[in-house]
């Protein structure tokens, strides 16, 4: 093997190893939502009953407050309402298929929701 073949092979191997890092898929699930949310901002996402979801939130300041509720006039209370001071992870229990709304209530946070099913 000459030097050019060796360098080409090393380069292709290195690029191939990093190719999976560039997609919208986490090592353990598909990214459903990834956003930076501030007070009074909202984002929606679709979720299915029976699937497992995990939310990771990291405050961009000293704290962040947010909630998730089913995007419906029939959802009287949020399914998750949290105030965090450091990176935190929560399991989401989806009871019915539909659109869910994530709303910032105070401070800001980088939030990612991953489908684990």
CB 108 within 8 A of CB 38: yes
Does this model's pTM top 0.85? My answer is: no
pLDDT, tens digit (0-9, with 9 covering 90-100), for 86-101: 999 999 989 889 999 9
CA distances from 70 to 13, 34, 46, 97 (A): 45, 18, 10, 9
CB distance 29 to 54 below 8 Å: yes
Q: pLDDT higher for 36 or 27?
A: 36
Domains and CATH numbers, the chain: 24-115 (2.60.120.1300)
């Amino acid at each position: 093997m000459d030097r050019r073949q060796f360098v080409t092979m090393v380069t292709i191997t290195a690029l191939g190893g990093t190719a999976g890092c560039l997609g919208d898929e986490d090592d353990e699930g598909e990214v459903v939502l990834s956003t930076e949310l501030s007070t009074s901002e909202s984002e929606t996402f679709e979720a299915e009953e029976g699937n497992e979801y995990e939310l990771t939130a990291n405050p961009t300041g000293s704290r962040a407050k947010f909630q998730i509720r089913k995007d419906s006039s029939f959802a009287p209370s949020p399914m998750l309402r949290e105030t965090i001071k450091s990176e935190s992870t929560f399991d989401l229990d989806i009871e019915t298929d539909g659109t869910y709304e994530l709303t910032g209530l105070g401070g800001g946070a980088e939030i990612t929701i991953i489908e684990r099913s």
